[in-house]
Amino acid sequence: MRTRRPTVVVLSTLLAATLGTVTAPSTALGQPASAVQTAVAEPNQVSGLTVTQADGYATLAWTPIDGATDYQIERAPVDAGNVATGPAVIVGVWRPNRQINNEAPTFADAGFSPGDRFSWRVRARFDTTAQPYSTPVAGTTLAPWGNPDVPGESLRTQWETTKAAQYTSDVEEYAYTAEVDRLSERVRVVEIGRTVLNRPINMLVIGYPTPPPTAQAVAATSPLAINCNVHGNEPGDREACLVLARKLAFGKDAKTVDLLSHTTVLIVPTINGDGRAANTRGNSTGQDLNRDYSLIRQPETAAYVRMLRDYRPVAGYDGHEYGNSTAGDLPMLPPRHQNVAKQIFDESMDMIEGHMYVQGAKDGWWACPYGCQGGSGVGLSEETILRNTLGLKNTVNSLLELRSSGGQTRPDEGNSANNRRRKTYSAFWTFSQFLDYHRANLPAITQARSEAIEFQASNTGRLVFRGSRPIPLHPAPHPGEAGPRDDLPEPEMILDNAPCAYKLTEEQYNGARTDGPGEVGATVAERIAAHGWKVVKAADGYYVPLAQPERGLIPLLLDAQGAEEWVDGQRIYPTGTGRHNGPLSVSGFTCISGGTVNGPVTVRPGAVLIATGTTISGPVSAAGATGVFLADSTVRGPVQISGTTDAVSLVDNRISGPVALSANNTGSDVPLLAGNAVSGPLSCALNSPAPTNLGVPNQVNGPKAGQCAAL
Partner 1 sequence: MSEPSNSSPVPGHVGRTAGRTQVRRASRRGPVSGASRRGAVSEASRRGAVSGASRRGPVSGASRRGAVSEGFWRGPVRLAAATLLAVATIGGCTDSDPAERGATARADARPAAAVTGPLCSALPSGTDPGNPASLTDEPGDVALRWIPVLTRFEAAVRAADLSAELRDPNGVTILAPTDDAFAKKFSEDNLDDLMIKQKNELRTLLRAHLVAGSYSLADLVAKGRVTTLDGTSVTITRADPMARIGDHTETVCADYQVAGGRIHLLNGVLGNLPTTADANGDPAH
CB of 223 to partner 1, least distance (A): 14
Contact call for residues 589 and 502 (beta carbons, < 8 A): no
Residue 238: CB minimum distance to partner 1, A: 14
Helix ranges (DSSP H) in 312-366: 342-349, 358-363
> Of 318 and 652, which has the nearer Cβ to partner 1?
318
* Cβ distance to partner 1 smaller for residue 274 or 347: 274
User: Side chain identity at 314, as an amino acid letter?
Assistant: V
Q: Which is nearer to partner 1, 98 or 156 (CB)?
A: 156
3-state class (DSSP) for residue 179: helix
170/568 with CB nearer partner 1: 170
Give 181 or 559: the residue with its C-beta nearer to partner 1.
Answer: 181
Q: Are 242 and 177 in contact (CB under 8 A)?
A: yes
> Which uninterrupted H or E stretch holds 36?
helix 33-38
Q: How far is the CB of 202 from partner 1 (least distance, A)?
A: 6
What are residue 283's phi and psi, to 5 degrees?
Answer: -85, -165
130/143 Cα distance (integer angstroms): 33
At its nearest, how many Å lie between partner 1 and the CB of residue 165? Answer: 4
In angstroms, what is the minimal distance from the CB of 621 to partner 1? 31
**Nearer to partner 1 among residue 374 and residue 470 (C-beta):** 374
Task: Give the rounded distance of the alpha carbon of 27 from its chain centre.
Answer: 33
What is the nearest approach in angstroms of partner 1 to the Cβ of residue 86?
9
Strand 106-110 and strand 89-94: pairing? unpaired
What's the CA angle centered on 474, arms 472 and 476, to 5 degrees? Answer: 130
Distance separating the N- and C-terminal Cα atoms of the chain: 26
Q: Which residues contact 254 (CB under 8 A, 6 or more apart)?
A: none
| Residue nearer to partner 1 on the CB measure, 387 or 527 | 387
Find the shortest distance in angstroms from Cβ 36 to partner 1.
30
Q: What number of other Cβ atoms are within 10 A of residue 519's Cβ? A: 9
User: What span, in angstroms and rounded, lies between the C-alpha atoms of 390 and 222?
Assistant: 15
Q: Which is nearer to partner 1, 211 or 613 (CB)?
A: 211
Q: How far is the CB of 516 from partner 1 (least distance, A)?
A: 16
The distance of Cα 220 from the centroid of its chain, to the nearest Å, equals: 17
- For residues 153 and 147, the answer to whether their CB atoms sit within 8 Å is yes
| Maximum Cα–Cα distance across the chain | 92
Task: Report the DSSP pairing between strands 265-268 and 200-206.
Answer: antiparallel
CA 675/CA 682 separation, integer angstroms = 13
CB 560 within 8 A of CB 578: no
Least separation, in Å, of the C-beta of 690 and partner 1? Answer: 13
Q: How far is the CB of 644 from partner 1 (least distance, A)?
A: 20
**Looking at beta carbons only, is 308 or 609 nearer to partner 1?**
308
Name the CA dihedral angle for 564, 565, 570, 575, rounded to a multiple of 10 degrees.
-80
Q: Which is nearer to partner 1, 321 or 451 (CB)?
A: 321
d(CA 42, CA 267): 50
Residue type, 355: H
Least spacing, CB of residue 637 vs partner 1, in Å = 35
Give the residues across from 467 on adjacent strands: none
DSSP category for residue 110: E
Buried b (16+ CB within 10 A) or exposed e, 187-219: bbbbebbebbeebbbbbbbbbbeebbeebeebb
List the one residue out of 303, 299, 195, 281 whose CA is nearest residue 231.
Answer: 281
The answer to whether the CB of 340 falls within 8 A of the CB of 391 is yes
By beta-carbon proximity to partner 1, the closer residue of 319 and 619 is 319
- Closest approach of Cβ 628 to partner 1, in Å? 23
Taking the complex as a whole, the smallest distance from the CB of residue 186 to partner 1 amounts, in Å, to 12
Closer CB to partner 1, 58 or 219, in the complex: 219
- Please state the closest distance from residue 555 (CB atom) to partner 1, in A: 24
Distance between CA 654 and CA 632 in Å, rounded? 8
Nearest to 74 by CA among 61, 93, 46, 57: 93
Whole-angstrom Cα distance, residue 191 to residue 246?
18
The number of CA neighbours under 13 Å toward the Cβ of 220 is: 10
CA distance 695 to 396: 14
Q: Which CA distances in Å does 408 have to 93, 123, 325, 326, 350?
A: 8, 16, 7, 7, 29
Closer to partner 1 by CB, 529 or 538: give it.
529
For 374, left (φ over 0), alpha (ψ -120 to 50), or beta?
A: left
Nearest approach in angstroms of CB 67 to partner 1 is: 34
The 315-322 sheet, strands edge to edge? 187-194, 200-206, 265-268, 224-227, 315-322, 396-403, 330-333, 367-369
H or E segment and range at residue 543? strand 541-545
Nearest residue (CB) to partner 1, 136 versus 211 = 211
Q: Specify the residue, 192 or 586, whose C-beta has the smaller distance to partner 1.
A: 192
**Minimum distance from residue 687 beta carbon to partner 1 (Å):** 16
DSSP state, residue 681:
-
Q: Shortest approach of partner 1 to residue 556 CB, angstroms?
A: 18
Q: Which is nearer to partner 1, 177 or 653 (CB)?
A: 177
Which CB atom, from 76 or from 586, has the smaller least distance to partner 1?
76
